Amino acid sequence: QVQLVESGGGLVQPGGSLRLSCDASGIIISINYLAWYRQAPGKQRELVAEITSGGNTNYADSVKGRFTMSRGNAKNAVYLQMSSLIPEDTAVYYCNLRGRTLARGYDSWGQGTQVTVSP
């Protein structure tokens, strides 16, 4: 009942910046948890950043100081501002939202967006 669509990925040179967006659709009563994950080639999916039910924003050590996660004001949107990108950031990035609709709770994932950092 809740669909997520990620966008903003692409090819960028090391040191560059990129802004990922995640747009949620559906009848959403509440959002209790928001997160960005990524999966690099040959590696397991890892948590990049999250906004917890308590309103705290946490980042993986590998991206701390370079990435910023935020929520949109006018719609159900989540953003990941990435700067000082390095080749190790190359991965498919996924948005994850958890919360409630009118009928039930949800745990939704997007299809992912490819980020490639290369000279």
pLDDT at 76: 82
Tokens found for residue 106: 């949800």
**Residues constituting the chain:** 119
Over the chain, what is the mean pLDDT?
Answer: 94
Whether residue 57 is predicted with pLDDT greater than 90 in this model: the reply is yes
Tell me the mean pLDDT in the region 71-89: 90
Kindly report, residue by residue over 6-17, the tens digit of the pLDDT: 999 999 999 999
Residue 80, Cβ density class (10 Å: 0-12 exposed, 13-18 middle, ≥19 buried): buried
pLDDT tens digit sequence for 16-42: 999 999 999 988 888 999 999 999 999
> What pLDDT shows up at residue 103?
86
**Element (DSSP H or E) covering residue 100:** strand 91-101
